[in-house]
Structure 1
Amino acid sequence: MTLACNLQCKSCFNRSGKPRPNELSTDEIKKSLVDLRKANVLDLRFTGGELTRRSDLFEILKSAKELGFAVSCNTNAAYFNDEINKKFAELDIEQVTVSIDGRKEHHEANRGCNTFDRTLSNLKRMHELGVKMRINTLINKYSLNDLEYMLDLASKYVTEINFFITRFIGRGSEFKKEDGLVTFDEFYEMSKQADKLRPKYPNLNILHFEQSTIDNSSRCGIYDEFGLKVGPPDGYTRFNIMSDGSLWAGGYIPYVDSSYELGNIKTDNIYDIWQKSKKLESFREESRKLELFCRRCDKYSKTCPGPNFELELLRKKDSSITNPYCYYGSGPSLLQ
């Protein structure tokens, strides 16, 4: 919805801070919502930037709810206005995702000083108001040991937590090893520990490693059984509209390769792009080939979370970049 943000997180893949000069207006977003509903889209996730920087946020969320969408959104929850918490509760949003990156010192190393207490306070307040929430936690070498701390915290206030790794995109591309980047083996070991801890948190959905990728993907088993063309989720089960209206198969792709832009919702019919775009079909085919290639690997569905197209595309352009989601992620890109 916007690139405007009140923070300057080191990991931010889209370098949020100032809004784009040509961001969609309230009316343009509302018209897009109607068009998306006509195209039988059912589920919307609103992200930023920081959504609460838009004064029309709740007007737009209300419109989406009235049109029958399942609505979720992301926030850093580092705001000072309790009215925001109340409005999330009043609209009965399906899920509000809050970013907390481990203990206070680890969270603030990424998101800035004096952010942790504010975010935690708003998380607790939304819990009191009955808001359904998830926590997103960025893992690095320092926060690896915060796993049980985060599970304890999450189990008190939310129903779901997702652990993931920094993408080397935007400000995230400036991360160095000394910033605490994790390896495939380190993240895998953390994931095994998370699995061991699951019985302790029966009411908490813990997403990590293969769960955060595979549970949100169309698996090739469907392809085998029904002859369907499927692959990783971008361009198959999800689609991204940027704050300027540009259309993309995935949310990270604009910051990796601008040649994959599919059009703009201000001028193009989203249903026609989804059904007929040759560029989108080309993207799907590349993604599908990667999925099928990965299926031949002895690590696939054992220690591997499945293909990560945007990181392999990034590695194809810059061989110095590694893919911590792949056992062989320090070698050549799998997209050749």
Structure 2
Amino acid sequence: MNRLKSYPVLQKEFSISKVHTEKGDDMFIYNTATRMKARPNEATFEFAQRCRGNKSVEEIISELSQMSGESPGKIQKDLSPLMKKMVDNNIIYFAPSPLHPPRPEPYEVDLRRRLPSIMLEITRHCNLQCKHCYSNSGTKREGELTYEEIKQLIDELAHTGVLNIVITGGEPLLHPHLFDILAQARSKPLSCMVFTNGTLITEEVVRQFKELGIVSVAISIDGATAETHNAFRGVKSFNRAVQAIKMLKEAGIPIRANVSVHKSISDEIVDVLRLLKKWGIDEHSIHPISYTGRSEGSDFTITPEEYEDILKQVKKYEISCGEAKKRLPYGPELINCGIGLSSLFIKSNGDVSPCPAFPDEISIGNIREVTVAEIWNNSEFLNKVRRMSASENDMCRECPHIKVCGGGCMADIYRRTGELGWGDPFECAYFTVYDDYDPYRY
């Protein structure tokens, strides 16, 4: 094949976007199947955004030459190693003739800062009545977004430069159009993760997840035994969740276990970790139950001191297995927990919240009335949070972990005090135990 006459095409798993921010252009080439992303330089971006299958290499060289003022020969010489590298890394391929239709144009938008991730609650309908549910899920919520509205929202999110969408509920598998919603998101393409209780996962569900290229499925595990787990979630939910994990694992779909820490699990936490290891779980989070929804005022939530004791058990187990964490579990991109910086939560009725841990009273807009971009740019709440700093808190100011902790969970502090601020005692407990990270990485 004559390379100059061929048509470079970005692989379907990749998205390319440019966000004009207050600090300059934020450009991404993002693999939605692996969640790996790269920030290309301007020259690489200019070439990559033209890899839509409707222009030959020769035509692209001509365009870049006219744009830059450099000779076509110089452009071709510079492009040759770049194209080879992109082919070797399976980022582009060359078609012998034009694509009909071509790939969509790259997304370009003006934002104060990039909004990379959205958590979308597609329904409050749930088949369980978990004692600690932060959203009080159960029956379908009045005025939930229609399928058509969700489709339009996904289009809007893609054009806003969003990279990743987390589908949650309620129980998302109860939504009659879940797989259509996922297919719509993957076609943009956006990377998709699904949060589920696992009880409704069947071989057919797993097959469709695999076919759609879902990057991860998160399943809640609330105990090492059926007795403990079922006491919180319902009869037979433990066995069904375990069966779901086995089916997902056999299909090669990455699994994340969300472990809610409560009083009943404190003596079982190491046994839970042993189970996760036995099941081959790829990732897990261990977090205290939120003081909101059904758990508000309950007697099964734990104190920061109890959380610290549990984390000590966790770390001791990790060390014994040779798996001690030497870094933070979420890395530098979630410093300050992401509030106002990297994510939003959209509820099933269209209300937008800074994150799912805030109570329903905190709404910063509704997508039926205003665009996500307008909320992200102009919300007084978000702009207030962005101006706040953990260094304003006396306790945080002197803490050696302030750069990575950023003050902890603002939503948790709000639920406890009714005020926005920093100094989350549960985060303090975490860093008291996990204090052996490399501070120079963050």
Q: Give the TM interval when normalised to the shorter protein.
A: 0.7 to 0.9
Q: 1:217 to 1:12 in 2, by over 3 A?
A: same
**Is the Cα contact below 8 Å between 1:44 and 1:70 reproduced in 2?**
yes
Q: Decide whether aligned partners of structure 1 residues 232 and 115 sit closer, same or farther in structure 2, where only a CA change above 3 A counts.
A: closer
How many angstroms does 1:198 deviate by? Answer: 2.7
Match of 1:221 in 2: none
Name the counterpart of 1:157: 280
Is 1:192 paired with 2:304? no
Residue 316 (structure 1) aligns with = 417
| Change beyond 3 A, Cα 1:113–1:31 | same
Contact 2:390 2:406 in 1 (8 A): no
Deviations 1:164-198, CA, capped at 9 Å, x for gaps: 1111111011411xx3x322122112223322333
Tell me, yes or no, if the aligned pair for 2:391 and 2:397 is still in contact at 8 Å.
no
Aligned partner (choices 238, 252, 260) of residue 343 of structure 2: 238
| Correspondence 1:47-196 to 2 at 5 A | 47-79=168-200, 81-103=202-224, 104-155=226-277, 156-176=279-299, 179=300, 181-196=301-316
Unmatched segments (≥5 aa) in structure 1: 219-230, 329-336
TM-score normalised by length of structure 2: 0.62
SS of residue paired to 2:296: helix
1:213, 1:305 within 8 Å by CA — same for their partners in 2? no
Deviations 1:30-87 (A, max 9, x none): 1111111111011111111000000100110111111111111100011264322222
| AA matched with 1:154 | L
User: Relative to structure 1, is the Cα distance of residues 112 and 171 closer, same or farther in structure 2, using a 3 angstrom cutoff?
Assistant: same
The aligned length equals 302
Q: CA deviation at 1:96?
A: 0.5
Over 6 Å off, 4+ runs = 204-207
Distance apart, 1:142 and its partner CA: 2.3
Q: Please give the alpha-carbon distance, in whole angstroms, between the structure 1 residues aligned to 2:272 and 2:210.
A: 24
Corresponding letter in the other structure for 2:416: R
Which structure has the larger Rg?
Answer: 2
Q: Report if aligned partners of 1:232, 1:291 keep a CA contact under 8 Å in 2.
A: no
Contact 1:73 1:97 in 2 (8 A): yes
Tell me by how many angstroms 1:206 deviates.
7.2
* Amino acid paired to 2:366: N
**What is the CA–CA distance in structure 2 between the aligned matches of 1:80 and 1:127, rounded to whole Å?**
12
Cα offset for 1:141? 2.4
SS at match of 1:2: coil
- Which letter does structure 2 place at the counterpart of 1:189? D
Q: After TM superposition, give the deviation of residue 11 of structure 1 in Å.
A: 0.3
Task: Extract unaligned runs of 5+ from structure 2.
Answer: 1-121, 430-442
Q: Distance in 1 between matches of 2:153 and 2:294?
A: 30
Larger relative strand fraction: 2
SS for the counterpart of 2:343 is coil
Decide whether the 8 Å contact of 1:75 with 1:96 is kept in 2.
Answer: yes
Report the Cα distance in structure 2 between the residues aligned to 1:206 and 1:123, rounded to whole angstroms.
24
Deviations 1:232-291 (A, max 9, x none): 411211111111111121112243xx2x42221122121122122223212433xx2446
After superposition, the C-alpha distances for 1:71-124 in whole angstroms (9 at most, x for unaligned) are 111000112643222222221211100001122221111111221111111111
For 1:215-239, what per-residue CA distance to the aligned partner results, in whole angstroms no more than 9, with x for missing partners? 5633xxxxxxxxxxxx441121111
- Residues 44/80 of structure 1: CA separation in 2 closer, same or farther (3 Å cut): closer
Percent identity over paired residues = 27
Partner residue of 1:222? none
Residues in 1 aligned to 2:324 and 2:143: alpha-carbon distance in whole angstroms: 38
TM value normalised by structure 1? 0.81
Report deviation, 1:163: 0.6
